[in-house]
Amino acid sequence: MGFFERADRLKRLPPYLFKEIDRKKAEVMSRGVDIIDLGVGDPDLPTPTHIIEALKMAADDPANHRYPSYSGMVDFRETVAQWYQERFGVDLDPKSEVVSLIGSKEGIAHFPLAGINPGDVALVPSPAYPVYHIATLFAGGESFFMPLLRENNFLPDLDSLPGEITARARIMFINYPNNPTSAVADLEFFNRVVEFAREHKVVICHDAAYTEMAFDGHRPPSFLQADGAKDVGLEFHSLSKTYNMTGWRIGFAVGNSEAIEGLGAIKSNIDSGVFQAVQIAGIEALRGDQACVRDMTEVYARRRDIMVKGLMDAGIEVGLPKATFYLWAKVPEGYTSNQFATRLLEEAGLVVTPGNGFGGAGEGYFRIALTQKRERLSEAIERLKTVVL
Ligand SMILES: Cc1ncc(COP(=O)(O)O)c(C=O)c1O
């Protein structure tokens, strides 16, 4: 033991399931193998030029060099409200129902500090974006995992949640379009979630990071379109995936004003808001020409088609996603998720994410992120076939 002893909350972190695969990846790379990385959900496409130009101009203005407002510039929050009205038909009060975030991850990670006490339960999907569970843990809460199963279209089965759990539950995380399963939810599901929230006094946290990354004319709804949603929940949104801005760190939370105020109270004691020049670029993103979003989804749709066909030709079960840039595929018979991912890496130089890394119910699956050019995806399919056929 050295001088620094980690706090218990860090000791309680779940084992990092990608450790072995990260180690193997480094080893395979050191052998000079040309790796095709389909692991990380980080767009390979650049941020659209008009957004970069807005940042450049704003960065030159000394008015933007000072501490920003904790909750976001008025203009940014008004832009978000206007975008919600135009995109979803949802009315938001920019003053009390919108807060800027340093990326949606930041808001998701901080919200349990505002909404749960030690010992309270958070309902967390499995498989899921890992931050829901870890943020719950950091707040001293307990996660109850709701399995997302294919037979339920990867929606949680709300009726099967045990009474002693719903009695202790304070918040529920949901995420549609979903990472990692790429499933979508309709308004009917969101309406049921609102009823559930009312009945059990549970605050709904909907992670809407992928609503704009949808294909074939599909328009994923906002949770806030459900009747009474604003009474029971909030929605986390992000500019990261819609405008290829993962590195810029800008997102927002919208919805129930008390929940937004609570989140703001945590944030104002931890961070000091989003750099104003980045907010001004964010305003340009949301208000400017949306052709870039259409172009982006076309790129991903073409990639999706190549990859889904290739996987099916290789005998791998995979759905055709309506949204997100992820494919959620079954590992072939006879492998665990980890074994299959390891074999693809060692024998084909392919990095995919083993499904169990997103939670126990992800075992038996692997996730592919469509963040490589088409030629590389075709190459990935050829290599994958050498392993499985
Ligand atoms: C489901 C989901 N939510 C939230 C995020 C975080 O996005 P950001 O913090 O960049 O807004 C991600 C990023 O991959 C994600 O997959």
Amino acid at 243: Y
- Mutational test site, ligand 1, from 207, 267, 328, 353, max ligand atoms within 8 Å of CB: 207
| Residue 110 Cα to ligand 1 middle (Å) | 14
Place of tokens 């990092």: 16
Tell me the Cα Rg of the chain: 21
Spatial distance between the Cα atoms of 248 and 274, rounded to a whole number of angstroms: 10
Spatial distance between the Cα atoms of 159 and 238, rounded to a whole number of angstroms: 30
Write the residue with the smallest CA distance to atom 16 of ligand 1.
179
Mean pLDDT, range 177-188, rounded to an integer: 98
Is 70 exceeded by the pLDDT of residue 297?
A: yes
354 upstream amide cis, omega within 30 of 0: no
Spatial distance between the Cα atoms of 351 and 337, rounded to a whole number of angstroms: 12
Ligand 1 near 358 CB (within 6 A): no
Mean pLDDT, range 236-242, rounded to an integer: 98
Spatial distance between the Cα atoms of 181 and 147, rounded to a whole number of angstroms: 12
Per-residue pLDDT of 73-93, as tens digits, reads 999 999 999 999 999 999 999
Per-residue pLDDT of 20-63, as tens digits, reads 778 888 999 999 999 999 998 999 999 999 999 999 999 999 99
pLDDT of residue 19: 77
Q: How confident is the model at residue 15 (pLDDT cuts 50, 70, 90)?
A: confident
Exposed (0-12), middle (13-18) or buried (19+): which is 69, by Cβ within 10 Å?
middle
| Residue 248 Cα to ligand 1 middle (Å) | 12
Q: What is the DSSP letter of 206?
A: E
Cβ contact 371:325 at 8 Å: yes
| Residue 104 Cα to ligand 1 middle (Å) | 6
pLDDT of residue 248: 98
pLDDT of residue 1: 61
Q: How much of the chain, in percent, has pLDDT values that exceed 90?
A: 95
Ligand 1 near 297 CB (within 6 A): no
Token pair for 115: 């909404």
- Closest by Cα among 198, 199, 212, 178 to 256: 198
Sheet holding 353-354, edge to edge: 326-330, 365-369, 353-354
Q: How confident is the model at residue 350 (pLDDT cuts 50, 70, 90)?
A: very high
Outline where 66-162 has alpha helix (H): 74-88, 104-115, 131-138
Counting from 1 in the atom list of ligand 1, the atom nearest the Cα of 175 is: 1
Task: Indicate yes or no: pTM above 0.95.
Answer: yes
Cβ contact 332:315 at 8 Å: yes
Beta bridge partners of 171: 122, 203
| Residue 2 Cα to ligand 1 middle (Å) | 35
DSSP string, 183-200: ----HHHHHHHHHHHHHH
Spatial distance between the Cα atoms of 47 and 160, rounded to a whole number of angstroms: 43
Ligand 1 near 211 CB (within 6 A): no
Counting from 1 in the atom list of ligand 1, the atom nearest the Cα of 178 is: 1
Using DSSP's 3-state secondary structure scheme, residue 59 falls into helix
Beta strands in 9-132 (DSSP E): 36-37, 98-101, 121-126
Counting from 1 in the atom list of ligand 1, the atom nearest the Cα of 238 is: 11
Mean pLDDT, range 185-212, rounded to an integer: 98
Ligand 1 near 178 CB (within 6 A): no
Q: How much of the chain, in percent, has pLDDT values that exceed 70?
A: 99
Is 80 exceeded by the pLDDT of residue 18?
A: no
Counting from 1 in the atom list of ligand 1, the atom nearest the Cα of 246 is: 10
| Helix axes 257-267 and 104-115, enclosed angle (nearest 10) | 100
pLDDT of residue 200: 98
Q: Alpha carbon of 299 to those of 37, 50, 291: distances in Å? A: 18, 19, 12
Amino acid at 301: A
- Closest by Cα among 258, 208, 389, 253 to 316: 389
| Residue 388 Cα to ligand 1 middle (Å) | 32
Per-residue pLDDT of 89-110, as tens digits, reads 999 999 999 999 999 999 999 9
> Average model confidence (pLDDT) for the chain?
96
Write the residue with the smallest CA distance to atom 6 of ligand 1.
105
Token pair for 20: 């072995």
Is 70 exceeded by the pLDDT of residue 309?
A: yes
Q: What is the DSSP letter of 263?
A: H
